[in-house]
Structure 1
Amino acid sequence: MSDPLEILLTNDDGIDSTGIRALHDVLSEHANVTVVAPANDHSACGRSISHEVDVSDHELGYAVHGTPADCVVAGLAELGPVPDIVVAGCNKGANLGEYVLGRSGTISAAVEAAFFDVPAIATSMYVPAPGTSLRDIDLGVDDYAEATRVTSYLVDHALGAGVFDHAAYLNVNVPLADGEPAPFEVTRPSKRYEMDAERDGNRVHLKDRVWEQMDPETLPDPDGTDRRAVVEGRISVSPLTAPHSTNHHEALTALAETYPAAVEH
């Protein structure tokens, strides 16, 4: 009988959020789970890193007074055993599209793990909330059933199947739990970007207008994208790489060659 998997579990909503509790309880049924998560909500903080953070004992593990990236570095380098996989989530709210990959604390935790050469899964849940802040929506553990089901499945099977031979981390987005398991679709991040800003006196309000257009009947995102899959009720799993790759660029190479002569005077 093989030893149980070692999992480092973190998030960006904070260690007391319902989403991380839901994942902890399910993953702990068949794995050793070490929780190292922010003491407070650090949503949308990206890969912001601290040089020194306080750590507190918590009933789930360790509460770090810092960011998700802090938690992964602290967890992998100091606080926990070397894990087989890092899991980040479950985030209350979807993380969809290319533009969120560097913005989301949930995804950034997975990216941080990738730099340690540790496979990772970032799990988020789409919560339809037109005209309502996610902070005003109360969710129970049962609402995360779809998220815990697919994350547990991926933890159990993705490593052995060789998924991480070709992906550094998986960005998983799920619909709200609705009885039967949702279909699973391998997707790519949507390219839509509709950030906007409006000035009001001495303040500028930044608006993400993507969320204003999530009607499945009129959604402009093409088939195969993460956003379309989730809005239509499917689980979206995007296999992604880190660090980001660079492309050969002949035009830029030509500029490099002419640079010395251009600036010598």
Structure 2
Amino acid sequence: MKIVLTNDDGIESPGLAALYESLSAVGDVTAVAPAVDMSATGRALSREVVVDEHEYGYAVRGTPSDCVVAALESLVPDADLVVSGCNRGGNLGMYVLGRSGTVSAAVESAFFDVPAISVSLALTSEDFESGETPKADYAEAAAVTRYLVAHTLDSGVFERADYLNVNAPRPGTGTGDLAVTRPTHGYEMRVERDGDHLRLHDEMWDRIDRGIVAGEPDDSDLRAVVEGSTSVSPLTAPHTTEHHEVLDTLAADY
């Protein structure tokens, strides 16, 4: 199995190293990842990038989506699977999916008809602010990813899902369970104003910090990670179009 490994935290990140070592046991892994941290870039794309050789594969001076395009069109064109991660911080909720560079790399792969798995480690604000997360903390996420890579390609999972979004619980809180989930709904952003400064705050971090799952359905990705399970959400990439008779009438009357 030929696996392209990418991320948005940069090719030198401990999370990528943890996945590289874990996945090398089940496939031929080539990293094609950003040379530096490109977090929260979504599907931003460059017109031209520079590629440098790296011990894991290739360091791309560009975005996660740049990396996937470069990999599947040039560097590893016969790849069977793209894995993106492991991200330092969770990627939970519908509204986060388009913002995350980690998830966006999986979406980019889906448009190439190459199955993909995005992987993140749900941390608290305190974890995130305390400094670098060591490679050992990604062990559970890496083990789950290796299991999914080894078992999903031939199982038929990707006949209905374009990619899987995986979120592992905070290190030390895991139950060892794997829960099939849906991204939580709702919008958790708020803004604090101080004169001419606006601070954008994602309250999802507060919910993880305080373990708030009130109102969350049993299959919520947030509920799963707060309760110690690893969440895996099977998702599709293309936007859907719904027939709308009122819009048909407005178009006809123009």
Q: Same fold (TM over 0.5)?
A: yes
2:241 maps to a residue whose letter is: T
Q: Percent identical across equivalent pairs?
A: 55
Distance 2:146 2:207 in 1: 31
Task: Please give the residue correspondences for 1:1-265 in structure 2 after superposition, counting only pairs within 5 Å.
Answer: 5-129=1-125, 132=126, 134-178=128-172, 182-214=176-208, 215-216=210-211, 219-259=214-254
SS at match of 1:247: coil
Give a deviation string over 1:215-254, Cα, whole Å, max 9, x none: 3365442221111111111111100001121112222222
Q: TM-score, normalised by structure 2?
A: 0.94
CA contact under 8 A between 1:185 and 1:234: conserved in structure 2? yes
Contact 1:144 1:176 survives alignment (8 Å): no
Give unpaired runs (5+ residues) of structure 1: 260-265
- TM-superposed deviation, 1:124: 0.3
Q: Closer, same or farther in 2 for the Cα pair 1:174/1:50, shift >3 Å?
A: same
The answer to whether the Cα contact below 8 Å between 1:192 and 1:210 also exists between their aligned partners in 2 is no
Mapped partners of 1:169, 1:199: distance in 2: 38
Query: Are the equivalent residues in 1 in contact too, given 2:174–2:229 (CA < 8 A)?
Result: no
When residues 64 and 217 of structure 1 are mapped into structure 2, their CA distance, relative to the original with a 3 A threshold, is: closer
| Alpha-carbon distance between aligned partners in 1 of 2:174 and 2:97, rounded to the nearest angstrom | 29
Structure showing greater Rg:
1
> What's the CA shift string for 1:2-40, capped at 9, x where partnerless?
xxx000000000000000000001111221001000011
In structure 2, the CA distance between the partners of 1:213 and 1:180, relative to structure 1 (3 Å rule), is closer
CA distance in 1, matches of 2:236, 2:213: 31
Structure 1 letter corresponding to 2:234: P
**TM superposition shift of 1:180:** 7.2
1:190: Cα distance to partner? 0.5
C-alpha separation in 1, matches of 2:71 and 2:6: 9
- C-alpha change, 1:168 and 1:247, in structure 2 (3 Å) is same
Q: Against the structure 1 CA distance between its residues 60 and 218, is the aligned structure 2 distance closer, same or farther, given a 3 Å change threshold?
A: closer
Greater Cα shift, 63-72 or 23-32: 23-32
CA RMSD of aligned residues (A): 1.6
The count of corresponding residues between Structure 1 and Structure 2 is: 253
Amino acid at match of 1:256: A
Q: CA 1:151/1:181 → structure 2, altered by over 3 Å: closer, same or farther?
A: farther
Give yes or no for contact 1:146–1:181 (8 Å, CA) kept in 2. Answer: no
For residues 128-150 of structure 1, the C-alpha deviation after alignment (integer angstroms, 9 at most, x for no partner) is 23xx3725333222211111111
Q: Which letter does structure 2 place at the counterpart of 1:74?
A: A
Distance 1:25 1:258 in 2: 61
State the shift of 1:177 in Å: 4.0
Q: Secondary structure at the match of 1:213?
A: helix
Deviations 1:36-81 (A, max 9, x none): 0001111110000000011111111111111000000001111124
Letter in 2 for 1:190: T
Q: Which moved more, 1:117-126 or 1:210-219?
A: 210-219
Runs of 4+ in 1 over 6 A off after TM superposition: none
Q: Which moved more, 1:245-254 or 1:217-226?
A: 217-226
- Separation in 1, partners of 2:241, 2:131: 41
Supply the distance in 1 between the matched residues of 2:37 and 2:106 (Cα, whole angstroms).
Answer: 17
SS in 2 for 1:106: helix
Report the CA distance between 1:117 and its aligned residue: 0.4
